[in-house]
Structure 1
């Protein structure tokens, strides 16, 4: 992000405003969106240290405070907005009514701000850009589609359906993770109790032996010492480390890219991210193609709502290839993300003029693959759980009983 200073003439007075943007054009758009008045000039400058510190503080604490709108509330509000728009009610009045009637405070705040921007003459999609975190990329992409096609109500209905499908997948994922999560929490609590209260009782006995203790026992005693003497400090350190890591992920594209690459190489997680992303990408892309949006624009909009940066970079190459004159199936093939069967289906759709239908079938295929992964999630996690549980049991058993066996052998030897 670059730092620009915009000189704005407002109410007969000149004022200078600092703006962070990727380039001068986007800085100009942000200045128009956030400030009323005539923009005289926009100049790129070095960001002042005071501004950098203020931005760091705002982002650091803002990232911990800000929350997304509850999915159920967002889906209900999108459906309500679709119904009111279809009935001929203005966007401004619809947003005001939804903001007034909702019980979700985040939704009330966001829709209230959106109505103010609409009343100032901005488009709905442009206004939503300020709330990308709260609303999500998919919401903004579908609103942009509705504005391009002139069928905002249809796009909002489709958006609500897609959000419900995504919500159902999230609920399914949480249900699949409930059992492993509960088992892991129970194991962690049991291990903490044993380390904190049971091991200290053996510690005194082991110290009286004045003998060389086995490695498992040394590990247990070290953990006991760490838990009982520095437990609070460890928790504080973990919290601070997590907060800093979260800040870096949210504010550094390079670090976020590297983290996403790690996730794509992690057991089980990589498949969940891969098929969830491809399912959502093909779902949105098929909706855009069916609405008559050109392929390059449809790709641009569908890619914009992808969160994983390495996958986003690969799929962005498809748009570049299409703009250069390559066919869609060739661009998809070059990414090496899609199976040969998918490439053949897209090629057949291009040749027969039924690309929207074929891409829709591809979206159904990836949804099926994603559902299959979620359904088998518990079974896939069980080996990891068993390994962790076995390691804990072995450590506790060997750490406590090996010295006791040595004591028994020593007593028998004396006899």
Structure 2
């Protein structure tokens, strides 16, 4: 939603009203509805009022601070619903039992509210819809499928399987990058300690030199001055930068889009490939499962793209449904995104023609999964050269910064 400064003329007097709307046309329409006796003369996009800005920031902070539901807790409760409904227990009794026994307070609150809505006459999918952000688009789609087929149990077993697959890949990736990150952070801390503790001992010696100090030594001295005088501010600045980065990434769609586009750029070694493969695996996994379950292709595409976090990739995948609506087949629509290899497009095309689309989507999903697993399994080998280069750079800077002036001093003494 955007803000517009709308100029209205009423009783011979002109005034401006700030309205919130999706576009300029909607803003003019809203102004006519709100001020039926006034003439709308102009509408210009403007920045949000100060109070709305503060309100949005406060709401975003409140949402950020609210504890996120662990995926293990979600999978556990979804699996319980599947088992209990399969045993013939009514859905309202099932939800009541789960709400009482779950240890997660947020889930307890959600399931209690869903159960209350069901008892009030709402369907399970309608009761779950307000919590799409918590459970994801695929949960809502599988719930609707369960209602349509009359088999909530089977739908929720499949939903739990999908979420477990996504969880396992995410956990494996985090585990693979944990060691390199810890190593780099430890090296950065060790280097900072050396700068603060070791360099000052040589500072007095270097100050006696009447010649210009080598560049590595100047860098060390400037870093020592910075850390000694403003170390706390530097640390706070880094923490503030990280917080703001995360805050704007989570709450500003334009900023998130730019970052997402940057992250999948070929220059971002490994990161671009990891994001692309994990995203495409998740998308095709959800899409394939939904098609196999009997959900129409257009609806399955819409749900699957809702699972995509990277906005740059999402933008390309959003064109698929629109192009199918124009008469293209699925393979042609996928080809226009530029995200699928020709081999995969041929498989999808064959699956469409032979009525085995779900089977071919399984193979596409397996291909992306194999590529992603191979990347994760060999991640340490890929990252090792980068780590060695980083560590060697720090050690070389420290060594040259301290010993180069010593060599110059030794030469001066020898020549004297």
TM-score, normalisation: structure 1: 0.84
CA distance in 2, matches of 1:20, 1:140: 29
Per the TM alignment, residue 119 of structure 1 is displaced from its structure 2 partner at its CA by: 4.1
CA distance in 2, matches of 1:374, 1:43: 57
CA contact (8 A) 1:220 1:396 kept: yes
Report matched runs for 1:136-215 at 5 Å.
136-215=136-215
**Alignment CA distance shift 1:119-1:251 (3 Å):** farther
- Which residue is equivalent to 1:7? none
- Which residue is equivalent to 1:54? 55
Instruction: Give the SS at the match of 1:209.
Output: coil
- Which residue is equivalent to 2:27? none
Per the TM alignment, residue 215 of structure 1 is displaced from its structure 2 partner at its CA by: 0.5
- Which residue is equivalent to 1:277? 279
CA contact (8 A) 2:142 2:159 kept: yes
Give the superposed CA RMSD. 2.6
Give unmatched runs, 5+ long, in structure 2: 4-18, 24-32, 36-42
Give unmatched runs, 5+ long, in structure 1: 4-18, 24-41
Per the TM alignment, residue 240 of structure 1 is displaced from its structure 2 partner at its CA by: 2.2
Per the TM alignment, residue 230 of structure 1 is displaced from its structure 2 partner at its CA by: 0.8
Per the TM alignment, residue 234 of structure 1 is displaced from its structure 2 partner at its CA by: 1.4
User: Which shifted more, 372-381 or 150-159?
Assistant: 150-159
The C-alpha deviation readout for 1:355-402, integer Å capped at 9, x for no partner, is 111111111111111111111111111111011011101100100100
- Which residue is equivalent to 2:77? 77
CA contact (8 A) 1:279 1:363 kept: yes
- Which residue is equivalent to 1:112? 112
CA contact (8 A) 1:286 1:360 kept: yes
**Alignment CA distance shift 1:394-1:363 (3 Å):** same
Per the TM alignment, residue 302 of structure 1 is displaced from its structure 2 partner at its CA by: 1.0
CA contact (8 A) 1:137 1:306 kept: no
CA contact (8 A) 2:137 2:303 kept: no
The C-alpha deviation readout for 1:87-107, integer Å capped at 9, x for no partner, is 333433323322221222333
CA distance in 1, matches of 2:50, 2:146: 42
Per the TM alignment, residue 152 of structure 1 is displaced from its structure 2 partner at its CA by: 2.4
- Which residue is equivalent to 1:326? 328
The C-alpha deviation readout for 1:269-316, integer Å capped at 9, x for no partner, is 111111111111111111111122221111111111111111111111
Give the one of 327, 340, 344 matched to 2:342: 340
- Which residue is equivalent to 1:395? 397
Report matched runs for 1:31-70 at 5 Å.
49-63=50-64, 65-70=65-70
CA contact (8 A) 1:202 1:400 kept: yes
2:292 maps to 1:317: no
CA distance in 1, matches of 2:108, 2:21: 27
Per the TM alignment, residue 132 of structure 1 is displaced from its structure 2 partner at its CA by: 4.0
Report matched runs for 1:197-346 at 5 Å.
197-265=197-265, 266-346=268-348
**Alignment CA distance shift 1:74-1:314 (3 Å):** same
**Alignment CA distance shift 1:120-1:341 (3 Å):** same
CA distance in 2, matches of 1:407, 1:239: 41
**Alignment CA distance shift 1:234-1:93 (3 Å):** farther
CA distance in 1, matches of 2:407, 2:352: 74
**Alignment CA distance shift 1:124-1:21 (3 Å):** farther
**Alignment CA distance shift 1:217-1:138 (3 Å):** farther
User: Which shifted more, 145-154 or 389-398?
Assistant: 145-154
**Alignment CA distance shift 1:43-1:289 (3 Å):** farther
